[in-house]
């Protein structure tokens, strides 16, 4: 049975003996509404570390839309059952006042412009809220490795930049995006889709797959125009569809050996994001 901890002092008391013994600690930070994608992170952590901590905290600082925060799925009892089944040792439910202290280094860390395009442009302040909460959680848990899904590609790049900038002693592990059988990326927000919207959302995977299949055959501007048309002709409202360098998140040139295509769109009232890595191979 997983141990449930709700404050920093109790967490430190619990983890201290393991740290003294040099036990490797794996960490999966989440906002709850756990699904198979989260389970894949837990599984990866269990394979590589000896003690697994999972946190559940819906972070208000990374929501720039109050309605989005209020309607974000909260399924704590189901989440605890899922984490227990997956063999999580400690479920951490942190307190807001213990996470967000004044003068956090994360509030001033340089993110090398990674926070400016895509989600940064669409959701001002979002990534500052992300790095502040992840930094605080890292300080509470002090993990050896932390596991994140590739679906939030920009977030992953920014967390790596934060870790490097602040020289934090934690390895960031990227895990592949898990998809439903029809290709839709697993996401907690999918719980808010109606049956018809769930079907309409498949156009995102269709557009990403089109880019992956044709990115060496068409000029980037032609490729992206055709991919965007797939979405604009659907019921979804496109926010952005961009082909960028996976390291800098800047637009690629025609000779790029690798790229990532990133998309965000509204399906009804639900904003969905997805991405797909591309290579020259």
The residues annotated as belonging to the active site are 38
8 A C-beta contact, residue 140 and residue 100? no
Angle, alpha carbons 78-269-213 (nearest 5°): 90
Nearest CA-CA partner of 126 in 179, 26, 59: 59
Instruction: Give the span between the Cα atoms of 265 and 190, in whole angstroms.
Output: 13
Instruction: Give the span between the Cα atoms of 117 and 154, in whole angstroms.
Output: 9
Q: Which residues contact 25 (CB under 8 A, 6 or more apart)?
A: 15, 18, 19, 49, 50, 51, 52, 53, 141, 142, 143, 144, 145
Helix or strand holding residue 228 (H, E): helix 220-232
Instruction: Give the span between the Cα atoms of 200 and 236, in whole angstroms.
Output: 7
**Angle subtended by helix axes 126-141 and 8-20, to nearest 10:** 50
Q: Which residues contact 86 (CB under 8 A, 6 or more apart)?
A: 39, 42, 43, 46
């Amino acid at each position: 049975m997983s141990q449930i901890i709700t404050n920093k002092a109790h967490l430190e008391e619990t983890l201290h003996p393991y740290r003294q013994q040099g036990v490797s600690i794996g960490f999966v930070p989440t906002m709850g509404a756990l699904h198979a994608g989260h389970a894949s992170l837990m599984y990866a952590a269990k394979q590589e570390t000896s003690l697994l901590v999972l946190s559940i905290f819906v972070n208000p600082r990374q929501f720039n839309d109050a309605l989005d925060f209020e309607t974000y799925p909260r399924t704590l009892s189901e989440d605890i059952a899922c984490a227990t089944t997956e063999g999580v040792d400690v479920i951490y439910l942190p307190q807001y006042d213990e996470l967000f202290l004044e003068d956090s280094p994360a509030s001033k860390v340089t993110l090398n412009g990674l926070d400016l395009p895509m989600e940064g442009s669409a959701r001002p302040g979002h990534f500052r809220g992300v790095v502040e909460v992840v930094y605080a959680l890292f300080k509470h848990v002090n993990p050896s490795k932390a596991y994140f899904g590739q679906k939030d590609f920009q977030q992953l790049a920014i967390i790596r930049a934060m870790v490097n900038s602040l020289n934090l002693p934690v390895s960031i592990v990227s895990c592949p995006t898990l998809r439903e059988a029809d290709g839709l990326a697993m996401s907690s927000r999918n719980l808010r889709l109606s049956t018809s919207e769930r079907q309409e959302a498949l156009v995102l995977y269709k557009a990403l797959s089109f880019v992956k299949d044709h990115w060496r055959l068409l000029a980037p501007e032609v490729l992206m125009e055709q991919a965007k048309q797939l979405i604009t002709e659907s019921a979804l409202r496109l926010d952005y569809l961009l082909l960028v360098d996976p390291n800098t998140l800047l637009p690629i040139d025609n000779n790029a050996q690798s790229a990532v295509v990133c998309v965000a769109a509204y399906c009804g009232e639900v904003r969905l994001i997805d991405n797909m890595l591309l290579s020259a191979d």
